[in-house]
Structure 1
């Protein structure tokens, strides 16, 4: 019998009843022992019902659909990681309802990785986009692997920023591992699989059904030491990831947002409820400093002009800017440098790549 076969059969019978799956493997060690156990022993497992136990005992081999799936896995060089696999991440295994198994395209060991999740709205503002880029790039340089969900918006921005910073990223899908969703992210998914991993607990060919995404969110948080919510409305799906993180005993961080922005209501509420307010990467790194080397944890100096070749006046303007856009008139007023001098320096700072002009004669600090 193929090694994958009993795992896939048990997974199909239990239909993502992951807490029961975990209890069964803890009790009987492996699926073969589950199938050979008595009805009474099965019914004594936490969460087990008579109907589920009967389904397990009444199963008869072979199952053609499962054999086809095994052929597909092997034919497409997809890795199949089950609860007893040596590469199954301990951090994920320790949540209440870990996936019985998952499919993986990638070249990094998930076990032992220092990972942090970055999630948020699918429709970010300029502020949210720049915040996601900054945190993802700087956390990557500090030694973190960035985990997210390959969705539009903050997820995609976080993945790309990590890859552009020369780091690793993990994408967790709410569909089959062979399904590109959204379609425009097919190239991004391929790049992640070459510089990290794409994983899914859903069978190949599974479409992006809306109920899959809350389920996959527990894996995003489960793989991670903490979850950073960059920008989220009050009913954003990313808040589900934050809730899972709390239930799993992981850290939750939130980027404060404009009180008038509908895309910041969720993050601001998280902060009210006890999530750590973060203004720069060091706010996150200090929670995990014992896991990082001295060189890495002291190598990030957010919002600093150190290493930048700026004149005194350029430094004044640069210091005034952040991820929240400022109109040129506000910059002139706050800098005290005078209109002509500010107008002269803004293009020079753009050429140096340290600030960016956005719509309406407004400027923000560039992500370095």
Structure 2
């Protein structure tokens, strides 16, 4: 990292750690003063009047001269394996720059390469109260997207979001999670293992500083990042007041395509998706329809023939649970216990154990001591 880059990044970080600072105010300061370090050498009057910043905040900015909060935040991030990226970094998701309040900085935890967002990214979002219908839809759509080597994007929330990330990893795909808290906090707490797995094989991104709690007001802000980072948003299952509808609205405002899967008119978890369809969202019932709707996906598949990875596609001769087990073991070549497989799948345990037995009899998997299974 060059000295100029780090200097600008630390100056931005020092400003953005102020509680009253936000993206829009920072943009006004940038328009007025250029480099962030110039802001700290300005007077209270120049900051307040010149950049239309509240007087109290201008006074706080001036009082922060010489403070080291940013350096402390930087050290914490570095120690935790978290990158802090400015919007001019090559690793910054390009779609976020379409937002009028694009975050000046993001925090990224993961091992993905800088060009990962050059491939299409599709947001899949929905209710925290996912039904078996919604979970099955996620499995079907995610398998196809992974086959196309398309990124899946979601918000790591309970329900549909969790299913999206888990199924992508099970299918050996790449998934990106945007969260509404600092990256040193796992929320919801039961997703600790999933959080770690995404960090290893994909990325977790936040605009919130380390230590930021998962406050209710943070999640609509997180949702706008999900929409902006993605080529299109697919709402799988959503209630009438679901946060997924915020993601869909932002996507539409940005000129992104919005898709929804129809649901039972008597189900509360389909009220939101059915309303989106009435409002003009693309109706999709099969994963292949995404390709028909999105020219960018068509172009990607045409230019990248290898993107149709048959080895991750479902085997039509196998049951859904058998295909899921094969994909899970493909993502865990060292093997996985039966308990570990059951933990990742939503099928009843009796079905999973039956599927394991059938796969072993067919010679597709092997059992090892300790009730551990591996691909043959």
Q: TM-score, normalised by structure 1?
A: 0.76
Q: 1:183-194 counterparts in 2 under 5 A?
A: 183-194=189-200
Deviation of 1:22 (Å): 3.3
Contact persistence 2:301–2:308 (CA under 8 A)? no
CA–CA distance in structure 1, aligned partners of residues 315 and 88 of structure 2 = 48
Aligned to 1:12: 17
SS across alignment from 1:170: strand
Q: 1:145-224 counterparts in 2 under 5 A?
A: 145-224=151-230
Aligned to 1:138: 144
CA–CA distance in structure 1, aligned partners of residues 38 and 118 of structure 2 = 29
SS across alignment from 1:188: helix
Distance 1:233 1:80, change over 3 A: same
Contact persistence 2:126–2:161 (CA under 8 A)? yes
Deviation of 1:61 (Å): 2.5
Unmatched segments (≥5 aa) in structure 1: 315-346, 353-368
Aligned to 2:297: 289
How many residue pairs get aligned? The number is 311
Deviation of 1:162 (Å): 1.1
Aligned to 1:88: 92
Aligned to 1:129: 135
Query: Aligned-pair RMSD on alpha carbons?
Result: 3.0
Further displaced range: 189-198 or 33-42: 33-42
CA–CA distance in structure 1, aligned partners of residues 77 and 153 of structure 2 = 24
Distance 1:82 1:146, change over 3 A: same
2:73 matches 1:65? no
CA–CA distance in structure 1, aligned partners of residues 166 and 70 of structure 2 = 35
| Cα distance per residue 1:245-287 (max 9 Å; x no partner) | 1122211111110111010000000011111111111221221
Unmatched segments (≥5 aa) in structure 2: 320-353, 360-376
Deviation of 1:309 (Å): 4.7
Q: TM-score, normalised by structure 2?
A: 0.74
CA–CA distance in structure 2, aligned partners of residues 139 and 16 of structure 1 = 38
CA–CA distance in structure 1, aligned partners of residues 167 and 179 of structure 2 = 19
SS across alignment from 1:264: helix
2:284 matches 1:278? yes
Q: 1:335-346 counterparts in 2 under 5 A?
A: none
Deviation of 1:168 (Å): 0.5
2:78 matches 1:78? no
The structure whose Rg is larger is 1
CA–CA distance in structure 2, aligned partners of residues 276 and 172 of structure 1 = 24
Further displaced range: 172-181 or 108-117: 108-117
CA–CA distance in structure 2, aligned partners of residues 59 and 100 of structure 1 = 22
1:54 corresponds to which of 42, 45, 58: 58
Contact persistence 1:150–1:156 (CA under 8 A)? yes
Contact persistence 2:149–2:309 (CA under 8 A)? no
Higher-helix-fraction structure: 2
SS across alignment from 2:88: coil
CA–CA distance in structure 2, aligned partners of residues 98 and 351 of structure 1 = 51
Deviation of 1:232 (Å): 0.4
Deviation of 1:54 (Å): 2.4
